[in-house]
Amino acid sequence: MKILTANQIKNCDTATIEKGISSIALMEKAATKCCDWIIDYFRNADKFLIFCGNGNNGGDGFAIARILYEKGFDVEVFINKNNMKFSREAEINFKKIKTISGIDVKDFSEVFNVHDEKSIIVDALFGYGLNRELSDDFKNLIKKLNQIKAQKISIDIPAGLYADRIIEENSTVFKADFTLTFQFYKRSFLHPETGKFCGKIIVLDIDLDKDFINEVETDYFVIDDELIKEIYKPREDFSHKGTFGKSILVGGSYGKMGAILMSTLSALKTGSGLTFTIAPECGNVILQSQIPEAMFIGSGKNYIDKIEIQEKAVYGIGPGLGKEKQTQKALFEFLESYNQYVVLDADALNILAENNKLNLIPKNAVITPHPLEFERLFGKTANSFERIELAKQKAKELQIFIILKDHHTVVITPEKKVFYNITGNSGMAKGGSGDVLTGILTSLISQKYEIEKSCIFGVWLHGKAGDFASQKFSKEAMLPTDLINKIGEVFKSLS
Residue 267 pLDDT: 98
Buried b (16+ CB within 10 A) or exposed e, 329-349: ebbbebbeebeebbbbbbbbb
Residue 132 pLDDT: 86
Measured CA to CA, the distance from residue 484 to residue 456 in angstroms comes to 18
Residue 244 pLDDT: 85
- Give the residue among 310, 315, 319 at the shortest CA–CA distance from 349: 319
Residue 488 pLDDT: 97
Residue 46 pLDDT: 87
Cβ-contact 111, 84 below 8 angstroms: no
Residue 69 pLDDT: 97
Cβ-contact 465, 458 below 8 angstroms: no
Measured CA to CA, the distance from residue 275 to residue 296 in angstroms comes to 9
- Give the residue among 102, 95, 100 at the shortest CA–CA distance from 24: 95
State residue 404 phi and psi, 5-degree precision. Answer: -95, 110
Residue 337 pLDDT: 96
Alpha-carbon distance values, 103 to 43, 62, 65, 71 (Å): 19, 10, 8, 13
> What is the pTM assigned to this prediction?
0.96
pLDDT tens-digit readout, 297-310: 999 999 999 999 99
CA atoms within 13 A on the CB side of 360: 21
Q: What angle do CA 358, 274, 488 make, to 5 degrees?
A: 95
Residue 117 pLDDT: 75
Residue 241 pLDDT: 73
Q: What angle do CA 437, 438, 443 make, to 5 degrees?
A: 100
Residue 112 pLDDT: 78
Residue 17 pLDDT: 96
Cβ-contact 53, 85 below 8 angstroms: no
For the sheet with 120-124, list strands across it.
104-107, 74-79, 47-52, 120-124, 151-155, 178-182, 200-204
CATH topology of domain 6-218: Rossmann fold (3.40.50)
Cβ-contact 362, 339 below 8 angstroms: yes
Measured CA to CA, the distance from residue 78 to residue 265 in angstroms comes to 56
Parts of the chain with a pLDDT under 50: none
Measured CA to CA, the distance from residue 318 to residue 332 in angstroms comes to 13
CATH topology of domain 229-494: UDP-N-acetylmuramoyl-L-alanine:D-glutamate ligase (3.40.1190)
The alpha carbon dihedral of 64, 70, 76, 79 has a sign of positive
Give the residue extent of every domain in the chain: 6-218, 229-494
Cβ-contact 346, 435 below 8 angstroms: yes
